[in-house]
Amino acid sequence: MPLFDFYIMVDWSGAARRRGMRADSIWIASGSIEDESPKTLSPFSRSEAIRLVRELLHAQLRDGHRALLCFDFAYGFPRDFAPALQSATAGADHTLPSLAVWEFLRNEINDDEGTTFERKPSNRNNRFEVANKVNSLLSESADSCGPFWCASTEAPYQYLPQARPQQPFQSAQGFLIQPLRFTDLRARSGTPFRLNGTASVGGQTLTGIPRLHELRFGADFAQRSMIWPFETGWATKAGWLRPGISIVHAEIFPSVREPFRRCY
């Protein structure tokens, strides 16, 4: 018996303007375990993408199915970033550090800035401003700031350097923040602290985590969802999901395997 009935895989984008059906756009692939190939969509904004994902999830819940939902941005940051930020913001000690970061970004990231009533989502966001704020909290001074780096050149940010900070980064709270997660090393991925340029995943992560928080903890899915492995363990035993869980969230790295080629 398969563990999941339906799969949703999302290639995310932190782009600051509407775009679809092209590179640096959002792509959604979805389908049931019985489908020969997935259906693909490329919405023009993050808000439209999440709306589509929610519709897919609601349909699966109505049918009594279990779905695996995956995005390709970082679900967390390298070691010691979360406790450093939790310390700097006086976050609640009872909250897991990783989820405290999710809550912080949910409150700080503003997406679709400038969108007016009855207009399509703008996709503009304040990710650079939020990264600048985080750096100001974690840095001893503007002369030695981090861990985020490589901002847009459209506007200067006092605490957001263009060049990579010293690695690992020594925070003002005494934490030594690593540049990469273990999973980044295994997948040969870039650092989630780089915000712009080639191989940058920081912008995707900053704009993606608040949306992931919305899907995981929103009222319609909160009691039916869990995040692998933060809330599930490593799934090494049978019955690792508690009864009633219909949606499992997991991070993916699409680039680590060769594209599928059908053989005839």
Q: pLDDT digits over 87-140, tens only? A: 999 866 667 778 889 999 999 999 999 898 788 999 999 999 999 999 999 999
Mean pLDDT of 210-224: 96
Token pair for residue 222?
A: 């909160």
How many residues comprise the chain?
264
Domain membership flag for residue 264: no
What pLDDT digit, counting tens, does each position of 30-71 carry?
999 999 999 999 999 999 999 999 999 999 999 999 999 999
Query: Is 70 exceeded by the pLDDT of residue 75?
Result: yes
31: domain range? 6-74+210-256
What total number of domains does the chain contain? 2
User: Which of 251-257's residues contact partners 24+ apart within 8 Å by CB, and which partners?
Assistant: 251/70, 251/71, 251/72, 251/73, 251/74, 251/75, 251/183, 252/9, 252/70, 252/71, 252/72, 253/72, 253/183, 253/187, 253/189, 254/9, 254/11, 254/72, 255/187, 255/189, 256/187, 256/188
How much is the average pLDDT of 200-206? 93
The predicted structure's pLDDT at residue 97 = 79
Q: Are 226 and 150 found together in one domain?
A: no
Task: Write out pLDDT tens, residues 4-21.
Answer: 999 999 999 999 999 999
The DSSP code for 111 is: B
**pLDDT given at position 111:** 96
Shared-domain flag, residues 105 and 197:
yes
Are 109 and 67 within one domain?
no
Q: Which comes out higher in pLDDT, residue 255 or 205? A: 205
Assess whether 186 and 148 both reside in one domain: yes
Q: Could you tell me the maximum CA-CA distance found in the chain, to the nearest angstrom?
A: 61
Query: What confidence score (pLDDT) does residue 207 get?
Result: 97
Listed in sequence order, the residues at least 6 apart from 225 whose beta carbon sits closer than 8 Å to its beta carbon are 215, 216, 217, 245, 246, 247, 248, 249
With contact defined as beta carbons under 8 Å apart, do 100 and 85 qualify?
A: yes
Whether residue 105 is found in the same domain as residue 181? yes
The answer to whether residues 54 and 94 belong to one domain is: no
Contact predicate 82/89, CB 8 Å: no
pLDDT at 94: 60
3-state secondary structure of 49: helix
Mean pLDDT across 218-239: 91
117 and 163 assigned to the same domain: yes
pLDDT reading at 264 higher than 50:
no
Are 132 and 157 a contacting pair, CB within 8 Å?
A: yes
C-alpha distances in Å from residue 114, one per residue of 85, 111, 120, 125, 206: 29, 9, 10, 9, 19
Domain co-membership, 86 together with 192 = yes
3-state secondary structure of 234: coil
Query: Would residue 100 count as lying in a domain?
Result: yes
Beta carbons of 99 and 230 less than 8 angstroms apart = yes
CA distance 129 to 78: 20
221 plus 166 within the same structural domain: no
Q: 21 — alpha (psi -120 to 50), left (phi > 0) or beta? A: left
pLDDT category at 258 given cuts 50, 70, 90 is low
37 CB burial (10 A radius; 0-12, 13-18, 19+): exposed
Tokens 């009872």 belong to residue: 94
Give the three-state DSSP class for 263: coil
Q: Is residue 148 part of a domain?
A: yes
